[in-house]
Structure 1
Amino acid sequence: MTETSLKADLHDYLRAARSAAVWKLDGLSDYDVRRPLVATGTNLLGIVKHLATVEWGHFGAAFGEPDPASLPWSAADAEPDADMWAAEHETRAELLDLYTQVCAASDAVIAGNDLDAIGHVPWWPEPMATVTLQHILIHTIAEANRHAGHSDIVRELIDGSAGYSAQVDLVSRDGQAERREQWERLEGIARRA
């Protein structure tokens, strides 16, 4: 495999994870994309905000592009985990637009550098702070997919839908009776085990 094809493959995986996280917001109210459904407060719009922050730092700060400190929620004195939820004044449209812009800037960094290009993540401890584009790309894919999985669970808690793209809905509305039977079977197994 050539470096060009490896980079293209990695970039495709990143794009797919981005798309999955954003798609999870489709068709939901502003309340539903913001509401916390697990004890940590995880919510769909917060995940998108977090992923924008991650990419801004991983590709922007690490490779000399926009300064992540310009995101108020990433400042040293910001409220803890402020990148994981949308403040009242932050709209869905604004955060989706931010993510789109950050992804475009990340894409430019990826396109403009070889996989062995050296970057520096200022808030990571040494020696981990010095990274290659390949390392940060793989790290970001893992992070994006991890949170896309969180989005899958949160979305399923909201309306029962599941899947990793608009084309692949893993839980068909037509199969709700079968889904309930499967849930009951698995619940029984768990209780008997």
Structure 2
Amino acid sequence: MNTLPGTKQMLLHYLHDVRTALRWKCEGLSERELRMPRTSTGTNLIGLVKHAAGIEIGYFGETFSRAWPTPDEVPWLDDFDDDPNADLYLSADESSRGILDLYGRVAEFADSTIADLPLEAHGHVPWWGDRGDVTLHRVILHVITDLSRHAGHADVLREEIDGAVGLIPRATNIPDIDHRAHVATVRAIAESFPQESRP
């Protein structure tokens, strides 16, 4: 008997894991910590979750002619002409709890698209222009890749805030070592090279 999961099950497994990772990186932090920009381009933890929600609404909604049921709660999806970063930070009247709750509902919406359509279902990504004809299979892979990149961003941001690290709650994937000693070793090796050296 074949007990291996089917392709759609495997794709959903990885999609669910990356969503879990993004939300987990926000746990236990204050509103201020979640909103604070932590890179020179303004990347912040809760902004990554808001961005992920927009990604999934677009790719699992509009691409397959499925409308997000309450467009008035995501006005920032139409604000890109006024603010091209509207989906990457929370305005003063948005709350982190509200965005995390929204992302939970977006995940259900996206999962229903995946459940209702075959992997070969055809869609069109309007913002891709002429190359926008896709299958559901391709879209799921694209979204997993995109969200995984942002989960990696969230990983680094969270580590910088309070040292918390890990892949997902059930499997942190972090060796139990003396990280200070490891950092010292890596730093010493790096500093042994001339500063002007280029690969």
TM-score after normalising by structure 1: 0.90
SS at match of 1:123: helix
Please say if 1:161 is aligned against 2:164. yes
Amino acid aligned to 1:8: Q
Deviations 1:97-156 (A, max 9, x none): 111111111000000011110011112111x21110000000000011110000000000
Distance 1:171 1:124 in 2: 37
CA distance in 2, matches of 1:10, 1:171: 24
Q: Secondary structure at the match of 2:134?
A: strand
Q: Alignment partner of 2:27: what SS?
A: coil
Contact map agreement 1:119 1:131 (CA 8 A) in 2: yes
How many Å apart are 1:69 and its aligned residue? 6.6
**Which residue identity is paired with 2:94?**
E
> Match of 1:6?
7
Please say if 1:95 is aligned against 2:99. yes
- Contact 1:46–1:84, Cα closer than 8 Å, also in 2: yes
CA contact (8 A) 1:36 1:43 kept: yes
TM-score using structure 2 length: 0.88
Counterpart in the other structure of 2:190: 190
- Pairing 1:85–2:86 present: no
Q: 1:78 deviation in Å?
A: 3.5
RMSD: 2.0
| Residue 7 of structure 1, CA deviation | 0.8
**Residue equivalent to 2:111:** 107
Consecutive unaligned residues in structure 2, runs of 5 or more: 194-199
- Residue in 2 that maps onto 1:119: 123
Q: Which amino acid in 1 is paired with 2:140?
A: L
Match of 1:60 in 2: 61
Which whole-Å CA distance do the structure 2 matches of 1:38 and 1:104 have between them? 31
Contact 1:62 1:119 in 2 (8 A): yes
Do the aligned residues in 2 keep the contact of 1:72 with 1:78 (CA within 8 Å)? no
Higher helix share: 1
Shift of 1:88: 1.1
- 4+ aligned runs moved over 4 Å, structure 1: 67-70
Q: Given residue 24 of structure 1, which amino acid in structure 2 is its aligned partner?
A: K
Whether the 8 Å CA contact 1:161–1:170 is kept in 2: the answer is: no
What residue identity is the alignment partner of 1:155? R
Question: Percent identity between the aligned chains?
Answer: 39
Q: What is the Cα deviation at residue 11 of structure 1?
A: 0.9
The alignment of Structure 1 onto Structure 2 pairs a total of residues equal to 187
Residue 49 in structure 1 maps to residue 50 in structure 2: yes
- Unmatched tracts of structure 1, length 5 or more: none
Secondary structure of the corresponding residue to residue 164 of structure 2: coil
Distance 2:162 2:172 in 1: 13
Residue identity matched to 2:146: E
Contact 1:24 1:44 in 2 (8 A): yes
Q: In the TM superposition, what whole-angstrom CA distance separates every residue of 1:24-44 from its partner, at most 9, and x where no partner exists?
A: 011111111111111111111
CA distance in 1 between partners of 2:46 and 2:101 (Å): 12
Question: Corresponding residue for 1:139?
Answer: 142
